[in-house]
């Protein structure tokens, strides 16, 4: 798997909640990681947020910046 450079801008919780609502999800008081995993599933993707270990082939992922900073 190739190493990719993370985008500079990270998504804040208001943006993540808006994205979830646009996909028909009800974000409520869900933790950030769980909400991002739900968004990834709703988009038909693998819920891989925080599990990348610094490498990811999904170069168009809007969560990549935060994903590379945490480890689950």
Residue 62 DSSP one-character state: T
Query: What is the rounded distance in angstroms from the CA atom of residue 43 to the CA atom of residue 46?
Result: 9
16 φ/ψ angles, rounded to the nearest 5 degrees:
-65, -40
- List, for residues 9-61, the tens digit of each pLDDT value: 778 999 999 999 999 999 999 999 999 999 999 999 989 999 888 788 888 88
Q: Which two tokens stand for residue 46?
A: 């693998």
Span 2-10, mean pLDDT? Answer: 56
The reported pTM is 0.82
Count Cβ atoms below 10 Å from residue 12 Cβ, excluding itself: 11
Cα 72–chain centre separation: 13
Q: Which two tokens stand for residue 63?
A: 């969560």
């Amino acid at each position: 798997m190739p190493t990719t450079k993370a985008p500079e801008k990270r998504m804040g919780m208001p943006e993540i909640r808006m994205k979830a609502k646009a996909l028909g999800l009800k974000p409520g008081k869900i933790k950030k990681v769980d909400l991002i995993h739900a968004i990834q599933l709703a988009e038909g993707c693998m819920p891989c947020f925080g599990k990348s270990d610094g490498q990811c082939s999904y170069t168009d992922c809007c969560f990549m910046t935060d994903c590379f900073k945490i480890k689950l």
